[in-house]
Amino acid sequence: MKAVVLKAYGDVENLVVQEMPEPKVGPGEVKVRVTAASINPVDWKIRRGDMKDAMPMTFPAILGRDVSGEVVEVGQGVKDFKQGDRVMGVVSSGYAQTVVAPVDVWAKVPDALELKDAAALPLVTLTGVQLIEEQMKVAKGATVLITGAVGAVGRAALFAAKARGAKVWAGVRTTQLEEARKLGADGVVALDDPKDVAKLPTLDAVADTVGGEAVAVVLDKVKRGGIVGSVVGPPKGAKEKGLEVRSFHSHPDGRRLAQLGESVAKGELFIPIGKTFKMDEAKEAQKHAEKGGSGKVLLVN
């Protein structure tokens, strides 16, 4: 099979398209012909070597954490999926024509969703939702700020917090205020405007999806003993202010992903797609994604 392979840590020139052995399906696993894979920040952080201590790679390596596609084979004991099913999931080595992963990472794609577009959902939706539901355990009536609220992870976190009955503030840049007002939050704040930040009420918690100054400027607004949950590492100064810091990494969950897919299909949750590239354009795709912007970047076979 063809795959986008990382030869060594470094810039995008270390990504090459080449033939790799096709993975074999084992007991309890599902083999999928990949329609599309999405690009996530973890991909270029791994490529650059930013995460080599936490996630050392053996080269050549295939990047890619989430995909959508069609089931081509199921392993012994798999009953929930069959050949031809449209699926999506959080995987390893997704920048390829074929991928194999355990049955419990996969979710069926609702008929109302384009199979290609479903590749944008698994990692970001599960990350945002698990931050709220599992790590922070946001309670009904709590006042919560989501940093990076117009980003894909931020949108999922906001969706989950609202579903739990929290009063949610969407934290964004000034240039994103108009877009943020469409998210259904109880309030919107420009985190790069000190006067706007000063108007925030006392917060029970902050769900941080971006790090840096965006979370630093609101720490004084969190009540003592309040929670700062983060998907990008503990913010500086939070513990010193008497705040409880909860950092985490998401995990695959096919059951919850199936529910989130239905929410997207119904229009309750929206994850925008910015641009689509062919799989052999992975260098250009990662460059584009690394610049940031609005919408997920997809690689399609």
User: What are the pLDDT digits (tens) for 195-243?
Assistant: 999 999 999 999 999 988 899 999 999 999 999 999 988 888 888 889 9
Q: Are residues 108 and 130 in the same domain?
A: no
Poorest-pLDDT segment among 193-202, 237-246, 262-271: 237-246
pLDDT at residue 56, rounded to an integer: 87
Q: Which residue has the tokens 């490529």?
A: 47
Task: Flag whether pLDDT at 170 surpasses 90.
Answer: yes
pLDDT at residue 249, rounded to an integer: 83
Q: If pLDDT is split at 50, 70 and 90, which confidence band does 84 have?
A: very high
pLDDT at residue 182, rounded to an integer: 94
Q: Is residue 75 part of a domain?
A: yes
Q: Are residues 168 and 95 in the same domain?
A: no
Residue with the larger pLDDT of the pair 248 and 269:
269
Q: Is residue 7 part of a domain?
A: yes
Contact 132, 204 (CB under 8 A): no
Task: Flag whether pLDDT at 293 surpasses 80.
Answer: no
**Main-chain phi, psi angles of 175, to 5 degrees:** -70, -10
Q: Is residue 253 part of a domain?
A: no
Q: Tell me which residue range forms the domain holding 221.
A: 124-247
Q: Are residues 202 and 240 in the same domain?
A: yes
Segment 82-109 shows an average pLDDT of: 97
Q: Is residue 257 part of a domain?
A: no
Number of structural domains found in the chain: 2
Q: Are residues 289 and 205 in the same domain?
A: no
Where residue 167 sits, what CATH number does that domain have? Answer: 3.40.50.720
Where residue 6 sits, what CATH number does that domain have? Answer: 3.90.180.10
Q: If pLDDT is split at 50, 70 and 90, which confidence band does 184 have?
A: very high
Closest CA to 38 of 259, 283, 279, 287: 279
Poorest-pLDDT segment among 54-63, 88-97, 253-262, 271-280: 54-63
Q: Is residue 265 part of a domain?
A: no
Q: Are residues 8 and 114 in the same domain?
A: yes
Report the mean per-residue pLDDT for the chain: 94
The pTM of the whole model exceeds 0.85:
yes
pLDDT at residue 108, rounded to an integer: 98
Give the C-alpha separation, 227 to 171, whole Å. 16
Q: What is the pLDDT of residues 13-31, one digit of tens each?
A: 999 999 999 999 999 999 9
Q: Are residues 132 and 209 in the same domain?
A: yes
Contact 247, 147 (CB under 8 A): no
Q: If pLDDT is split at 50, 70 and 90, which confidence band does 102 have?
A: very high
State the CB neighbour count (10 A cutoff) for residue 31.
22
Q: Is residue 263 part of a domain?
A: no
CA 133 centroid distance within chain: 15
**Main-chain phi, psi angles of 108, to 5 degrees:** -75, 140
Q: Are residues 80 and 165 in the same domain?
A: no
Retrieve residue 21's tokens.
Answer: 């052995």
pLDDT at residue 52, rounded to an integer: 86
Q: Are residues 130 and 114 in the same domain?
A: no
pLDDT at residue 65, rounded to an integer: 95
What percentage of the chain has pLDDT greater than the value 70?
A: 99
Give the C-alpha separation, 300 to 50, whole Å. 26
Q: Is residue 188 part of a domain?
A: yes
pLDDT at residue 235, rounded to an integer: 87
Q: Is residue 260 part of a domain?
A: no
pLDDT at residue 248, rounded to an integer: 79
Give the CA dihedral 172, 178, 180, 181, nearest 10 degrees.
130
Q: Are residues 241 and 285 in the same domain?
A: no
